[in-house]
Amino acid sequence: MLNQPRTQEELRAELTELCRGASDPDPILHSFQDKELLRIGVGDLLAKAPIRDTAAALSDLAVTLLNQVFELCEPALRERYGIPHRLAVSPSNLSPPCSYVILGLGKLGGREISYHSDLDLLLIYEAEGTTAAVGTSACIESITNNQYFTELTQRAIRVMSQMGPMGRLYEVDMRLRPTGKSGSLVLSLAEFRRYFEGRSAQVWERQSLTRARTVRGDGRFPEEVQLAAREAMLALPWSGKLAQEILSMREKLEAPGSRNLKRSRGGIIDIEFVVQAFQLKYGRDHPAILQTNTWSALEALRDAGLLPAGEAEKLREGYSFLRLVKARLRIVTDRSQNELPEKPEELGKLARRLGFEPAEDQSATQRFQAEVKRMTTQIRQLYTTIMERERG
Task: Give, for all 392 residues of the chain, the pLDDT tens digit.
Answer: 777 788 999 999 999 999 999 999 999 999 999 999 999 999 998 988 999 999 999 999 999 999 999 999 999 999 899 999 987 655 556 678 899 999 999 999 999 999 999 999 999 999 999 998 766 556 678 899 999 999 999 999 999 999 888 889 999 999 888 877 767 899 999 999 999 997 778 899 999 999 999 999 999 999 999 999 999 999 999 999 999 999 999 999 999 999 999 999 999 999 999 999 999 999 999 999 999 999 999 999 999 999 999 999 999 999 999 999 999 999 888 888 999 999 999 999 999 999 999 988 899 999 999 999 999 999 999 999 999 999 87
Find, among 146, 8, 148, the residue nearest to 67 by Cα: 8
pLDDT at 93: 61
**Domains of the chain with CATH codes:** 237-392 (1.20.120.330)
Number of neighbours of residue 180 by Cβ within 10 angstroms: 11
What does the H/E/C string look like for the chain? CCCCCCCHHHHHHHHHHHHCCCCCCHHHHHHHHHHHHHHHHHHHHCCCCCHHHHHHHHHHHHHHHHHHHHHHHHHHHHHHHCEEECECCECCECCCECCEEEEEEHHHHCCCCCCCCCEEEEEEECCCEEEECCCCCCCCCCCEHHHHHHHHHHHHHHHHHCCECCECCCCEECCCCCCHHHCCCEEEHHHHHHHHHCCCCCHHHHHHHHHCEEEECCCCHHHHHHHHHHHHHCCCCCCHHHHHHHHHHHHHHCCCCCCECCCCCCCHHHHHHHHHHHHHHHCCCCHHHCCCCHHHHHHHHHHCCCCCHHHHHHHHHHHHHHHHHHHHHHHHHCCCCCECCCCHHHHHHHHHHCCCCCECCECHHHHHHHHHHHHHHHHHHHHHHHHHHHCC
CB 367 within 8 A of CB 351: yes
Q: Which residues contact 346 (CB under 8 A, 6 or more apart)?
A: none
Per-residue pLDDT, 89: 55
Residue 320 identity (one-letter amino acid): S
For CA atoms 9, 11, 13, 19, the dihedral sign is: negative
Cα of first residue to Cα of last residue in the chain, in angstroms, is 51
